[in-house]
Chains A and B, each alone.
Chain A
């Protein structure tokens, strides 16, 4: 692990029909259905991305959670290291179902999202990033792995900052927790602190 000290600049969460930044709710909705909820969040938070409504649910979740953090970011050397449990399973099922219809027709617009790392591409396009990116699949949120990976990218100068976290969507259930790691910041970049922030409601 790196001997340098890194910090968490800011973090975002999307769960239980609300969007928060650094622990403060910035959007809350009565909508229990994800698509209606995230559409409302997109409009209220003034997220500008024409492709938004064409994306799958995982990408919509990741884009909103990241946009809150990257909206004011001027440094473009921000690596992306995201993770989840369900991979792109929700979209994979849609694709599979279309192939099992009586007259099977695969939708190109659905097929292109049958990989979880596509959401990283959407975040990169939205923010003009040409940086390193990786997507990992874990059984549960793995703060230690993300911490080691992010600090390696920073200490080897592969990136100036790293957007890390968890973005999981499956069958209508969603959970996003993203944070920006940098030299300076509000919170310590430690396994304990990452887990504490992740569990903050």
Chain B
């Protein structure tokens, strides 16, 4: 789980072009949207694509994303529970 969270932070930084943000600066429970990393709706779509492409998880309902993408912690928990399901 710890490795997965670190991996997710790296992917988020790289795929969302978060300039000048390091893995160490993202806490597991930091909000990804709003006041946290300040991600926007296009970033949310990128995260949905990332779940599919990198972990083979397709979101049946994009509205689910709101809870899944709250933080790295919630993303990792969702991936752990659904990977290979």
Q: Which residues of A come within 8 Å of B, CB atoms?
A: 39, 50-54, 103, 105-109, 112
Contact = CB atoms under 8 A, between A and B. Distances in A.
Contact of A108 (B38, B49, B52, B53): B49
Contacts, number: 28
Interface stretch (B2-10, B40-48, B68-76): B40-48
Given A50-B38, A112-B42, A107 B49 contact: yes
Given A54-B16, A105-B49, A105-B53, 6 more contacts: A50-B38, A107-B49, A108-B42, A109-B16, A109-B42, A112-B42
A54 B17 contact: yes
Given A53-B17, A53-B19, A54-B17, A107 B46 contact: yes
A161 B6 CA distance: 50
7 contacts: A51-B40, A53-B18, A105-B53, A106-B49, A109-B17, A109-B42, A109-B45
Interface in B18-68: 18-19, 38, 40, 42-43, 45-46, 49, 52-53
Interface size class of B (residues with CB under 8 A): 10 to 19
A70 B15 CA distance: 31
A177 B46 CA distance: 33
A28 B14 CA distance: 28
Nearest to B50: A105
A108 B53 CA distance: 13
Nearest to B38: A50
A53 B18 CA distance: 7
Nearest to A105: B53
Contacts of B52: 105
Contacts of A109: 16-17, 42-43, 45-46
Nearest to B41: A108
Nearest to B53: A105
A105 B38 CA distance: 24
Contacts of A52: 19
Contacts of B53: 103, 105
Nearest to A52: B19
A175 B41 CA distance: 31
B62 to A, nearest CB: 12
B26 to A, nearest CB: 16
